[in-house]
Amino acid sequence: MHGLSLPDLRVSELIDRVGRVTRGLQFVNGLSPAQWEALRFIARANRYSSSPTALAKFLGSTKGTVSQTLISLEKKGYVQRLRDERDRRGIRLELTPAGLRLLETDPLLEIDKAVACLPAYEKEALIDGLKRMLRDVQRKLGGNEFGICDDCSLFSAEQDPKGDYQCGLTRESITAEETQLVCVNFKSQDEDAAIKATSPG
């Protein structure tokens, strides 16, 4: 079967099964899985990523589909669109207080509880393995990686006198709180190392 061994196939089938379970869990409170995923993303997106365009990239969806998702969430009172303070032509997405309260009942917390019951070494291996697998698949498909700011190869860990950090891409200051948010410009450490290793000189 295309050179894949049985254990490899079982891993893919297990991932597919988990995906089906997580999808089924999210048809609650009148929302769809895509709407729940949009809420999670908006809650964790940094200043460069809290836009409809970044959300579409994160979901691997079209702008039209994401627009319909946002319209539905706005009507339910969970999301609001604001003018971007850095670019008045841009739109910034933000959760309303109702949206933040709803996320406290996120159905995927059941998955997190199950993972929390695993021994520490199994949990760490699972998280690390899934991250690497997702990153590899995203690269092959040509999509944005997305990731936490302080895990990015562009992140500067050196603090300024105010205690802020710096984004190596934009050269803008980043607060300690922002370093834990998701960024559309994320670039993994191993990708950066691979690029340097293959560069001439």
Q: How many domains does the chain have?
A: 2
Residue 73 within any structural domain of the chain: yes
- Tell me: do 24 and 98 sit in the same domain: yes
- Residue after which a domain boundary falls, among 103, 132, 151: 103
Residue 174 within any structural domain of the chain: yes
Q: What is the pTM of this model?
A: 0.82
- Tell me: do 98 and 147 sit in the same domain: no
Q: How far is CA 164 from the centre of its chain?
A: 23
- Tell me: do 93 and 157 sit in the same domain: no
Q: Give the list of residues 6+ apart from residue 45 with CB closer than 8 angstroms, or none.
A: 54, 55, 93, 181, 182, 183, 184
Torsion over CA: 139, 143, 147, 151 (sign) = positive
- Tell me: do 24 and 80 sit in the same domain: yes
pLDDT at 197: 40
By C-alpha distance, which of 144, 145, 147 is closest to 183?
A: 147
- Residue after which a domain boundary falls, among 103, 130, 160: 103
Residue 6 within any structural domain of the chain: no
**Domain extent at residue 163:** 143-198
**Each residue's pLDDT expressed in tens, for the chain with a length of 201 residues:** 455 555 555 788 888 999 999 999 999 999 999 999 999 999 999 999 999 999 999 998 999 999 999 999 999 999 999 987 776 678 899 999 999 999 999 999 999 999 999 999 999 999 999 988 888 887 887 777 788 898 899 888 888 888 888 888 888 898 999 999 999 988 887 654 444 444 454
Q: Is 154 helix (H, G, I), strand (E, B) or coil?
A: coil
Domain CATH number, residue 99: 1.10.10.10
- Measure the CA–CA gap between 16 and 138, rounded to whole angstroms: 17
- Measure the CA–CA gap between 111 and 182, rounded to whole angstroms: 20
Residue 136 within any structural domain of the chain: no
Residue 12 within any structural domain of the chain: no
